[in-house]
Each structure stands twice: as structure tokens, then as C-alpha cells.
Structure 1
Amino acid sequence: MQRHSRIYIAGHRGLVGAAIHRQLQQQGFEYTLTVSRSELDLRDSQRVGEWFERHQPEYVFLAAAKVGGIVANSSYPVEFLQDNLQIQINLIHHSYRTGVKKLLFLGSSCIYPKFAPQPIKEEYLLTGALEPTNQWYAIAKIAGIKLCQAYWQQYGWCAISVMPTNLYGPGDHFDLQNAHVLPALIRKFHEAKIHQHPQVTIWGTGTPRREFLYVEDLATACIFLMQNYHEPEIINVGTGEDLSISELANLIKKIVGYTGELCYDPSKPDGTPRKLLDVSRIHQLGWRAQTPLPLGIEKTYAWYVTHAQGNP
């Protein structure tokens, strides 16, 4: 991938795609291709094919997806499975058909079994049952991984699959019905501070442990892997460190400046007990995350106050 290569970022307005777009521009890549959802429905194979033929991208970052938290996954299983399958099949197929040199597919750590040994190695994929609360999204992502590997096996085409841990950062969704835990907590604590609520309720028991990666770090990892990784096997991207939801809540509470009490609602689902990725493979290649969690949360909260407050 050269500075003048034609690089298509699918999903460039999403959390990950926008970060990849920013990083490519900052690193001096001159020819990035983007197209909005209103201009091109990625679920429409014919229109996607026509777009690829017209623009002839050489490299593709497949960051487009329907995403959301536990509530969204549970409420819209058809859309989470069907829309993501259609997007992936269309983009991977037409990338190969029109001569794209290399494609990077963004997966998710939710592809791994609910009770996978910790930290989670890449080879644990498909060794156990999934977490039911996000199985629809996970199955779609697993299908995308296998489709990339199928193109490797049958045609020798270079399509790599990257598995990031839980992501956060500027541009995240802060809608309490659809947001993931970290941005949801930022909004909860901010609104509780503004309205002087005496307490904030956290879903679940607070005991599950999660790993969080600042989205700008993921973007640098994706560009690094596009340049340096050429294997069909999936590769994890994360920090290699985790903390409990309770510890996360107290950290966000401190950064936001909320002084009320915390309480937990154990009637709400906890999700997977622990989800920590083994990132030794990408470390061996020479990449490591650079943003400490407190700093990343501070940057994300500052972005929320400036851009997203009152408009999730």
C-alpha cells in the first residue's frame, strides 16, 4: 500500500472507519475513497459492484457494519445477522472480482466462545458456545472471517481478518439503548452530574472484566497490519489488560467529576464473564497500543461534551 494507492474505507463515518480515515490522512496517504450510506446501500450487490467498477480501489478497509450493545443485539437479531452478512458478502466479493490487491476485514472479540480460556488466543475461535446476548452479530462476523479465508484457500487472494477488543473513542455512540458500556457510562455520569442525581445505576453485578482499546490505536494497528500482515489466520488487536466493570465505572465517575453513589442492578445481564485478548501475535510483529485507558476516557469525554451532549 503506497502513498498514492486508491484506498477505500467502507464505513468511514462509523467509529472505526472514521479513525482509519483520519490516520490514513495523517500518515500521508493521498487517495482515500469514501461513499455515504445515502449514496450507496452496501446491502445492494448490484450497486456495490457498479461502484467498485467505477472507482477501482486497490485496497479496502471493511469497517462497515451494523453495531450496537446488548439491548440492540437482543432487540434486532434479524438486522444484526442479515444486514452484516449482506454487507460483508457484497464488499468481499466485489473487491475480489474487480482486482483489489488486499482487503482488511474488521471482526470483533465477540466471535470467541463465552467461556473461552483467558487470555483469548486466536485459535479458540469455534471451540465453544457464543454469548447469547450478541450471538447474531458474532455469527455474522464469523461468516465474514470464513469468507475471507475461503477466498485465500480457493483463489489465493489476500484478505486478512482483524479482531479488535472493545473499542471506544471520539465519534462513539452515546445512545443509552444502543451504546456499548463505556460510552453509556460516560453519558450516565455526565447527565447525573448535570442534573445532580444522587445515584447512578449500573447494569449487572459489576464483576465482569473487559479490555478496552482506544479507537485511534486500532486505526494505527489496521494500517500497520495492511502493510505487514499477510496471512489467512485471524489476528487479535488489544491492550492485553482488562478491568472489572465496577473499576471502569469508578474510573469514569472520577474523570467526569460525578460525586453521587453507584448502585448495581443484578437483574440486568452481565454478558461474558471475562473477555481479554491474547495480543502476543501482533506484539511480535512490532505493534503495541499507545493510549492508556484514563487518557483515552478523558479524550472521549471531552469529545462527548463538545460534540455529542444532548445529541447521541
Structure 2
Amino acid sequence: MDTQSKIYVAGSRGLVGSALVRALSRQGYENLVLPSSQALDLRNQAAVDEFFAQEKPDYVFLAAAKVGGIQANNTYRAEFLYDNLMIEANIIHSAYRHGVTKLLFLGSSCIYPKLCPQPMQEDYLLTGFLEPTNEPYAIAKIAGLKLCENYCRQYGVSFISAMPTNLYGINDNFNLANSHVLPALMRKFHAAKVNDDPTVTVWGTGTPLREFLYVDDLADALIFLMNTYNRVEFVNVGTGQEVSIKELALTIKAVVGYEGELVFDTTKPDGTPRKLLDVSRLTAAGWQAKTSLKQGIEQTYSWFVQNYDTIRA
């Protein structure tokens, strides 16, 4: 990409999309196309095709998706499958039809089997059963990366895919009903601190292991991949480091400054017992994460407090 290339960021209002816009702007990319979901329904094939015909973007970051945590994934199963299939299929096909130079599709580490060997290598895809609570979302993301792979093979286009680990950061979703674990815990601890509550309840046993990537690091990685990566095979994006949910909760507790006690609700699901990406393919390409978990949580909490009245909560 050069600084005058027309770049379409699909999902520019979301966690990843807004981080991409910040990163692209910082790096001097000025010609950004950023329609809102109200202006362009990505589930509508005709509307998406018309948009591509009119705008003719050179590069596409496909960061638009219907997303959520365990509860949302398990409750809105049909929506998570249908909406994500439609969004990715419409954008990928229109990008092909209208001659986009390069497209980057953003997947998720939930594409891997529930009991996948750790750390999870790209070659482990489709080697076992998925985690049942987020199977529809995972299937949609697998379909997206396979669309990119096979459009490359059949049509000779440059459509690449990146599979990030668990994300968090500025502009995250802090709604307790459908957010991911880190922002949900941050909001819980903040509310408990403000209300002087004696305890905070954490779902599950606290023993599952997770990897977390600060979203601004992901944005940096995606721009790096768009500029340098051209293989048909998708690539994992993460830190290569993991932490237990209990350790995560204690870190957030310390950053927020909450002084009460943790209570683990073992009647709630843990989800996948362990999720750590093998990031050797990305490391070999020349990129690695820069922000430590504590630094990322501190930056996220600072933003959370400053923007509390307008956060997605």
C-alpha cells in the first residue's frame, strides 16, 4: 500500500476496525473509506456490490463481524452463523468482481478444535470437534478463510487471512451480557470499586488458560501483513504467551484498584480449557507483539474511565 491507496476498512466502528483506522492514520494513509453499518448493510449482497462498484477500493481490511463472548455466542447461534457468512461472502466476492488489489480477512482463534494440541499451529485446522458454545461463529470464520484461500487458488487474487487470539483494548464492548472476558471483568471490578462491593464473581473455575493481544498491536500486525505477506495459507496473530483466567482477574483487580475478594462461580461454563496460538509463522515473517498484558490493561482502563459515559456498556 502507498499513502494514497484507497483503503476500505469494513467494520471501522468496532474494536479492530477503529484500531486499524487509528494505526493507518498514524502511518500516513489518508484515503480511507469508512461507511457505517447504518449506511451499508454488509449482509445485503446487492448493496455491497454497488458500494464496491462506486468506491473501487484498492485494499480491503475485512474486520466487520457479529461478535461476542460465550453467552452471546451460545444464545444468538443462528445470527452469529448467518450474519458472519453473509458479511464475509459479500465482501470477498465483490472484492474479486471489482478488482481489489489485496484483501485481508480477519478470523478468530476459535476456528481450532476444542481440544486442539497446544500451542495451536495453523495446520491443526479441521482436525477435531469445535467448542460447542461458539461453533456457529467458528464455522463462519472457517468459511471466510476458506473463501479467501480458494479465491486465490481459482482466480489468482491476493486475499490473505489472519487469525488473531483473544483481543481487548480501546473501544471494546463492555456489555456484561455479550462482551468477552477481559472487558467484562474490567467493568465488574470498576463497578465493584465504585459501589464498594465486598466481592466480584468470576465465571467458571478460573483455571482455563488464555492468550490476550492488545488491539493496537493487532492493527500494527495487520498493516504489516497487508504490506508483506502473500501466502495462500492463513497466519496466526498473537503474543505466544498465556495466562489463567484467575491471573487475568487478579491483574485487572490490581489495575482497577479494587480491594475486595474474588468468587468463582463454578456453575458457569469455562469454555475451551486452553487456547494458545503458535505464532512462529508470523514471527518468522518479521513481526511480534510489543504491548505487555499489564500495559495493555492499564491503557484500556485509562480509556474506559475517561470515556465511561459513552462506552458500549
* Equivalence map 1:198-277=2 (5 Å): 198-277=198-277
The aligned counterpart of 2:123 is 123
Amino acid at match of 2:49: G
Q: Secondary structure of 1:89's match?
A: helix
Amino acid at match of 1:144: G
Q: Secondary structure of 1:90's match?
A: helix
Amino acid at match of 2:286: G
Shift of 1:308: 3.0
The aligned counterpart of 1:56 is 56
Alignment check: 8 A CA contact 1:12 1:21 kept: yes
Deviation sequence 1:112-146 (CA, Å, 0-9, x none)? 00111111100000000000111110000000011
CA distance in 2, matches of 1:237, 1:286: 12
Q: Secondary structure of 1:308's match?
A: coil
Identity %: 62
* Equivalence map 1:60-209=2 (5 Å): 60-209=60-209
CA distance in 2, matches of 1:64, 1:20: 12
- Find out whether 1:307 has 2:310 as its counterpart: no
- What is the TM-score of this pair, normalised by structure 1? 0.99
Q: Secondary structure of 1:161's match?
A: strand
Shift of 1:2: 1.1
For structure 1, the 5+ residue unaligned runs are none
Q: Secondary structure of 2:12's match?
A: coil
Q: Secondary structure of 2:120's match?
A: coil
- What is the TM-score of this pair, normalised by structure 2? 0.99
Shift of 1:69: 0.4
Deviation sequence 1:8-54 (CA, Å, 0-9, x none)? 00000000001011101100112111101111100011011111111
Amino acid at match of 1:304: F
- Find out whether 1:47 has 2:60 as its counterpart: no
Q: How many matched pairs?
A: 312
Alignment check: 8 A CA contact 1:174 1:308 kept: no
Shift of 1:150: 1.1
Amino acid at match of 1:28: G
CA distance in 1, matches of 2:145, 2:243: 28
Alignment check: 8 A CA contact 1:239 1:279 kept: yes
CA distance in 2, matches of 1:283, 1:150: 25
CA distance in 1, matches of 2:135, 2:196: 37
Shift of 1:309: 5.0
Shift of 1:147: 0.6
CA distance in 2, matches of 1:309, 1:187: 13
Alignment check: 8 A CA contact 1:88 1:144 kept: yes
CA distance in 1, matches of 2:86, 2:36: 17
Deviation sequence 1:57-88 (CA, Å, 0-9, x none)? 01000000000001111110111000000000
Deviation sequence 1:189-246 (CA, Å, 0-9, x none)? 0000000110001000000000000000000000000011001101000000001000
CA RMSD for the aligned pairs?
0.8
Segments of 4+ moved more than 6 angstroms: none
Amino acid at match of 1:141: K
Q: Secondary structure of 1:270's match?
A: coil
